[in-house]
Amino acid sequence: MTAEAILEGQILLIDKPLTWSSFQAVNKLKYILKRKYDLPKKFKIGHAGTLDPLATGLLIVCTGKFTKKITEIQGQAKEYTGTFTFGATTPSYDLETEINVTFPIEHITEALIQETTKQFVGEIDQKPPIFSAIKKDGVRLYEHARAGEEVEIAYRKTTIHEFEIIRIALPEIDFRVVCSKGTYIRSLAYDFGMALNSGGYLSALRRTKIGDFSVDNGISPEEFEK
């Protein structure tokens, strides 16, 4: 890799570590590249799709002229694996917030779980979590949430192309999902729990693919630095 190649445009596949924000990961790469290649202070670099700090996996980082490809890459189907935990909900639909309500799970069977997945394949209506970066009245939803404000959130159309249950060990199940842009896996966890007449939240998440790009070809920011 050369300074010219970076400015002309590169696609870097990063395996984002747990607790890192996508912004942190991009900043780390920016620092490494600037230091190694003596790049201009404001060279272009950005990621194609935010990954929450509590998620790991594929973060696509584009440099130089390839930052123009970000919108195109973001629009491609994404694959995730992870874990839903049933019997409780959290306000953020994941582990960012504490459990607020508990529910029974004794009635949940493997057959019920497999049957319920069918409700979530194809085009579905999904309500984004209140703890998300979507803006309402010019303010991000998570800012409303942290201020304790009640906000009406509209449902959105999204598409689940594939939904596979990999492991059942109640209260946990492991899954694999292929979905369209704009799908919230946290909301899927919550809605799935409700469909089971219980509750549910996302307890682990890993993004494995975006379009033809795979995390199998990605490296951690630490490996990238080496």
Residues with active-site annotation: 52
| Residue among 134, 124, 131, 191 at smallest CA distance from 156 | 124
Q: Residue 59: is it exposed, middle or buried by C-beta count within 10 angstroms (0-12/13-18/19+)?
A: buried
SS3 label, residue 200: strand
CA–CA separation, 144 vs 53, rounded Å? 20
Kindly provide the b/e burial profile for residues 174-187, where b requires at least 16 CB atoms within 10 angstroms of the residue's own CB.
ebebbbeeebbbbb
Q: For residue 76, what are the CA distances in angstroms to 42, 123, 178?
A: 28, 16, 10
| Residue among 11, 7, 15 at smallest CA distance from 220 | 15
Q: Which stretch of DSSP H or E encloses residue 222? A: helix 221-225
Type of residue numbered 69 = K
Q: Under 8 Å CB-to-CB from 19, ≥6 apart: which residues?
A: 53, 54
